[in-house]
């Protein structure tokens, strides 16, 4: 397993930001852990794949279409500030909201399946650590 410090060093290596001291530290880690070279190669390949993809762009007049939808909502007597803002955005842009909702459900299911036994519901669904009630007391 790669620790966060090593990940940081690999990131700096791939971005060309390693200083000489960090370079020596990374070389020592590479000598200790042969799997680190495979990790670096995988990171290089991933960066290459991401870099070769075309940059996403909004369609022409995207901002005008968004503002038109907002004005239509206002004309219908709805206000973005009268309801939950996320619900208003979901109503305005269902093609984005539905896949986002499905993706968040999959992420929560994945987190729950990977949770350790005895984890609380919040930890299991959202992968967030929780504090017990005693930790929240302020003296």
- For residue 29, what pLDDT band results from cuts at 50, 70 and 90? very high
pTM: 0.43
* pLDDT tens profile 62-105: 888 888 877 877 777 666 555 666 677 777 778 888 888 888 88
Mapped onto helix, strand or coil, the DSSP state of residue 132 is: coil
Which pLDDT belongs to residue 27? 94
- Residue 135 clears pLDDT 70, i.e. is over it: no
pLDDT > 90: percent of the chain: 24
Average pLDDT, the chain: 80
- Residue 7 clears pLDDT 70, i.e. is over it: yes
Q: How many other C-beta atoms can be found within 10 angstroms of the C-beta atom of residue 26?
A: 20
The structural domains of the chain, with segments of one domain joined by +, span: 4-52, 62-126
Q: How many other C-beta atoms can be found within 10 angstroms of the C-beta atom of residue 10?
A: 21
* Three-state SS letters, 48-109: HHHHHCCCCCCCCCHHHHHHHHHHHHHHCCCCCCCCCHHHHHHHHCHHHHHHHHHHHHHHHH
């Amino acid at each position: 397993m790669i620790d966060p410090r090593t990940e940081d060093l690999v990131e700096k290596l791939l971005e060309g930001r390693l200083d000489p001291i960090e370079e020596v530290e990374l070389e020592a880690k590479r000598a200790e852990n042969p799997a680190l070279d495979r990790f670096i190669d995988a990171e290089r390949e991933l960066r290459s794949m991401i870099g070769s993809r075309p940059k996403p762009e909004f369609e022409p007049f995207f901002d005008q279409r968004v503002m038109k939808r907002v004005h239509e909502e206002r004309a219908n007597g709805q206000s973005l500030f009268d309801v939950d803002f996320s619900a208003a955005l979901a109503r305005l842009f269902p093609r984005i909201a539905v896949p986002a909702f499905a993706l968040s459900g999959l992420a929560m299911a994945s987190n729950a399946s990977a949770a350790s036994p005895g984890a609380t519901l919040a930890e299991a669904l959202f992968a967030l650590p929780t504090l017990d009630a005693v930790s929240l007391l302020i003296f």
